[in-house]
Amino acid sequence: MPIPLAELLTTYQSEIIHRWVRLLHSEGGKQYAARPKEELYNTVSQAYAANYEFLVFNNLEPINQFIDKITRMRLEAGFMLSDVQKAFELFRNIIIPLLLRHGVPVELNDNIAGVNNCLAYTIHQFSDYFQMMHEKQILEQNRQLEETVTLRTSALEESQKKYKTLVEEINDGYFVVQKEVIVFANQAFCRMHNYGPSQVTGKKFIEFVAGPDREKVQGIYRKSLVRDPVPRVFEYRRLTRNGQTFPTEIQAKRTRFDHKISNIGICRDITGRVRMEARVRENERMAYIGHITTSLSHEIRNPLSAVKLNLQILAKNTRIKGNDRRRIRISTDEVIRLEKILNQLLDFAKPIRLNRSPERLERITADFTELLEMQFREKQLTVETLCDPDMPDVPVDREKFGQAVINVLLNAIDASAAGDVISIRTRYVPDRRRSRAEILFEDQGQGFSPQIKEELFKPFFTTKSKGSGLGLSNVKRIIEAHGGWVEAIKRASPGAAFKICLPIE
C-alpha cells in the first residue's frame, strides 16, 4: 500500500540511517572508513532529521545548522570536499528507490523533486560555505602578510596550494569568468567538456554552451554585471569538444578575483537526474496506459470470443460454400489476429516479474526459434545460427527471455521476403568491470531509415499495416528488466539487425 512521504520517512528512518552509515563506512572513502561508527551514526542521524524537516515542513533552519557544524568538523579532520559531497548524495541513492517502491504514485514527481531540491540546496549551501571560509582564510592571511614579506610569501604559496587542492578535488566544474573570458577552470570543468586545462583558459565561456541555450546564458551573465536580479542556480546544456550536449546545472556568483570583478561558478552534470525524472514520468505514463489497456481488454475479449465461436460454428456448416466459406475463414483469421493483439496489450499492461535461473542462451534461443518453424516454412526462410562456445550460463527468466526472442524473430519474419536468410549469433564479451552476453538477430528485409530508429522501441509505433506496435516495446521492457539493453542496428547491406545485451555477474 502506498505510503505518504512523511510516514515513509518515519517508518524507514532506522533502515535509512543504518544503510547510510554502512555505505559511508564502505564506500565513502578512506577517511570515512576510519571514523568511529558512533560518530557517523550521530552525524547521519542529524542529517536525516534536517532532511526530514526540509522535505516535510520546508524548514531550512536544521539544514543550515547542520551544514555549519559538518563543514567545520570535516574541514578540521582534513576531509576532501568531494567526499563530503558524495556523503550527502548517498541520501538520494537510498530514498528514491524507497519512494518508487512504497511512495504514493500521484505524489512521486513532487517527492522526487523535493529530494532533488533538498540535496541541491544542501550541496550548494555547503559549497557557498566552503567559499566563504576560504575567503576568511585569505583575509586572515592578508593581515599576516602585512607583518613581514617573508611570511607573506610563504603564507601566500601555502594558501594557493590549499586553494588549488580543494578546488581540484571538487567533482563539479569550478571556473572564473572575467569579461566573458574564462581565466581559471579546474580539472573537473575541463573533463566535463573534454578539453585540457590549457585549451579552456582564454576562451569565452559561451563557447562551452550549446547553441539553443546561448542567448539565455548570455542574458543572465549580462544582467549580473549590472546587478540586476538573476537566478543563482539555473540549467542549460553544455557543449563538449566532440559536439555532444549534456544537461548541466550551474550556480554562479559575482565577486572579486585577482582584484577584478569576476563571476565564479560551479557547474554540475545532471544527466542522471534528468534521465531519472524522465524514467519516472515514463513509468507513470506506462502505468496509466496499462490501466486503460486492461479495462478495454476485458470489455473487448468477451464479445470477441463470442464472434469467434459463432464463426467456428458457421464454418462447420456444410451448406456454406465458395466465397461465403472463404469470407468466414478470413473473418476467423482476423478475429485470431485481434486476439493476439489483445494478448500483447495485456502483456504490455502487466508489470514484469522475473524468475531467474542460470540458463544456456543458445538452448533457449533454439527452443523458442523452433516454435516458429511453421512461419519459417511458409515464407521458405532459412535460419542460420552461430553460437559462441565460451558463453557461460546467464541468469535469465526462461519464459520472459523466450518471449523476447519470439518477438524479435516475428519482426524479422515480417520484414523478410521468400527465400531470405535470418541469422542468429551469440557472443560472450568478457570485461573486468562487467561481462555481458550478446545475441544478434539479422534479416535481409528492407531495414529501417535513420529517422525512425529512435521510434522503433516506443509503444504503439509500427510501420506495418497490421501491426500493434508492441512487439519491440515488450522486448525492450523484458531485456531492461534483466538489467540489459537492446539496440537496433542499420546494416550496410539490405536488412536490419537487433542486438540484445545481457550483463553477466
Most confident of 224-238, 314-328, 400-414: 400-414
User: What DSSP line would sit under 458-476, residue for residue?
Assistant: STT--SSTT--S-HHHHHH
Nearest-angstrom CA–CA distance, 281 and 349: 16
Task: Identify whether 157 is part of a domain.
Answer: no
Task: Identify whether 420 is part of a domain.
Answer: yes
Name the residue among 235, 295, 246, 291 with its Cα closest to residue 272.
246
Domain final residue pick, 217, 246, 269: 269
**Kindly report the CA angle at 290 between 286 and 291, in degrees rounded to 5?**
120
Are residues 181 and 202 in contact, defined by beta-carbon separation less than 8 angstroms?
yes
State pLDDT tens for residues 241-264.
888 888 998 888 777 777 787 888
Residues 260 and 290 in one domain: no
Task: Identify whether 160 is part of a domain.
Answer: no
Chain CA centroid to CA 475, Å = 19
Residues 282 and 386 in one domain: no
As beta bridge partners, residue 487 has 499
Task: Identify whether 422 is part of a domain.
Answer: yes
Residues 32 and 99 in one domain: yes
Angle between helices 81-102 and 37-57 (to 10 degrees): 60
More confident residue, 199 or 132: 199
Backbone dihedral angles phi then psi of residue 73, each to the nearest 5 degrees: -65, -45
Residues 46 and 119 in one domain: yes
Residues 323 and 381 in one domain: no
Strands 421-429 and 382-386: parallel
What average pLDDT score do residues 220-244 get? 81
Residues 123 and 249 in one domain: no
Task: Identify whether 167 is part of a domain.
Answer: no
Task: Identify whether 338 is part of a domain.
Answer: yes
Residues 265 and 284 in one domain: no
Backbone dihedral angles phi then psi of residue 416, each to the nearest 5 degrees: -90, 150
Nearest-angstrom CA–CA distance, 409 and 417: 14
| DSSP at 305 | H
CATH number at residue 202: 3.30.450.20
pLDDT at 324 over 80: no
Q: What are 222's three cell numbers?
A: 549580462
CATH number at residue 466: 3.30.565.10
Domain final residue pick, 349, 372, 402: 349
pTM for this one?
A: 0.43
| DSSP at 85 | H
Residues 387 and 495 in one domain: yes
- For residue 226, the model assigns a pLDDT of 73
Residues 292 and 427 in one domain: no
pLDDT at 167 over 60: no
Q: What are 387's three cell numbers?
A: 553460437
- Residue 248 sits in which domain range? 172-269
Task: Identify whether 197 is part of a domain.
Answer: yes
Q: In sequence order, which residues have a C-beta less than 8 Å from that of residue 451 and are 6 or more positions away?
A: none
Mean pLDDT of the chain: 81
Banded pLDDT at 158 (limits 50, 70, 90)? low
CATH number at residue 108: 1.10.490
- Nearest-Å Rg of the Cα atoms of the chain is 30
Residues 384 and 294 in one domain: no
Task: Identify whether 291 is part of a domain.
Answer: yes
**Kindly report the CA angle at 162 between 158 and 163, in degrees rounded to 5?**
115
Residues 415 and 465 in one domain: yes
State pLDDT tens for residues 99-151.
888 877 878 888 888 888 988 888 888 777 766 775 675 577 677 767 765 66
Q: CA-CA-CA-CA torsion for 442, 443, 445, 449, nearest 10 degrees?
A: -10
Residues 125 and 10 in one domain: yes
Continuous segment of H or E residues that includes residue 37 = helix 37-57
Q: What are 304's three cell numbers?
A: 470477441
Domain final residue pick, 319, 349, 379: 349
Number of structural domains (the chain) is 4
**Kindly report the CA angle at 432 between 429 and 438, in degrees rounded to 5?**
20
Banded pLDDT at 165 (limits 50, 70, 90)? low
Nearest-angstrom CA–CA distance, 48 and 9: 9
- Given the C-alpha cell 550536449, which residue does it identify? 245
